[in-house]
Amino acid sequence: MPPASEIFQEIPVDQPSVTPKPFYKSLYFQVITAIVLGVLLGCQVPPGYKHA
């Protein structure tokens, strides 16, 4: 077993709390933009196609 100090050096404590945040922000941004684009495109679809 390596010393605890080596384990903490290999796995920084800051990384888990820092890296997921931008990923989730971009994920939410992609989902929101996809929904907004879907709504905008849905409003532009001809009425006949919407009812069918």
Rounded CA separation 35/52 (Å)? 21
Query: Which of residues 44 and 27 earns the better pLDDT score?
Result: 27
Task: Please give the pLDDT value at position 6.
Answer: 56
Query: Which of residues 25 and 45 earns the better pLDDT score?
Result: 25
List, for residues 30-48, the tens digit of each pLDDT value: 888 888 888 888 876 666 6
Rounded CA separation 5/39 (Å)? 53
Rounded CA separation 9/13 (Å)? 9
Task: Please give the pLDDT value at position 13.
Answer: 53
Whole-model pTM? 0.40
Q: Is the pLDDT of residue 20 over 60?
A: no
